[in-house]
């Protein structure tokens, strides 16, 4: 009579019948692997039918502050200004864009191919609220610099009352 193998979980936790069901060789080779059962009524699609959505690359950024501004810098070399979208709220900045491939040669002609081409996006949550109206963006030599003036919540203004 053959002995039924228990689940890996039962073996690890010492559950019923876990005495010697698995060896370390079995674990290294994925022995007794866990295969989840599909939900009742679920249909599986053939692997060829599943299309992967293209993922946006993540833009690398530097974020620092001065006494009056929050500054965001990002390398956007190769991105045309019309392909760049910067959305600003008081506490968040989202950069979206697309870098189009402009290369000669075919795929087999490359020794290295490390540059990122395609869509990218990056959202930066700001450490302090900023004045959206005073925001500035400049690009020089492929370096995008966004300067966001900080909101000064402690600033007070004197209000004079006028009489008729």
Total of domains in the chain: 2
Residues 30 and 87 in one domain: no
Query: 158 in a domain, yes or no?
Result: no
Residues 5 and 66 in one domain: no
28-82 residue pLDDT tens: 555 444 455 555 555 554 545 444 455 678 889 999 999 999 999 999 988 888 8
What count of other Cβ atoms lies within 10 Å of the Cβ of residue 45? 8
CATH number at residue 86: 2.60.40.790
CA distance 162 to 44: 75
Query: 66 in a domain, yes or no?
Result: yes
78-100 residue pLDDT tens: 888 888 999 999 999 999 998 88
9 or 34, which is more confident: 9
Residues 76 and 142 in one domain: yes
132-159 residue pLDDT tens: 999 999 999 999 999 999 987 777 777 7
- pLDDT given at position 136: 94
Report the chain's terminal Cα–Cα distance, integer Å.
Answer: 105
**Residue range(s) defining the domain that contains residue 25:** 1-35
Residues 131 and 85 in one domain: yes
Is the CA virtual torsion 12, 18, 19, 21 positive or negative?
negative
């Amino acid at each position: 009579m053959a002995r039924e193998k228990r689940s890996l979980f039962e073996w690890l936790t010492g559950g019923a019948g876990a005495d010697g069901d698995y060896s370390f060789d079995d674990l290294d080779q994925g022995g007794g692997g866990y295969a989840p059962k599909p939900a009742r009524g679920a249909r599986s699609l053939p692997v060829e039918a599943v299309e992967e959505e293209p993922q946006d690359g993540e833009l690398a950024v530097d974020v620092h502050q001065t006494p009056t501004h929050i500054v965001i810098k990002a390398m956007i070399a190769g991105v045309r200004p019309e392909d760049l979208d910067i959305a600003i709220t008081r506490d968040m900045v989202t950069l979206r864009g697309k870098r189009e491939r402009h290369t000669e040669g075919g795929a087999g002609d490359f020794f290295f191919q490390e540059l990122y081409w395609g869509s990218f996006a990056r959202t930066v949550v700001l450490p302090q609220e900023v004045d959206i109206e005073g925001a500035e963006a400049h690009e020089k030599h492929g370096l995008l610099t966004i300067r966001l003036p900080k909101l000064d919540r402690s600033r007070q203004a004197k209000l004079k009352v006028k009489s008729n």
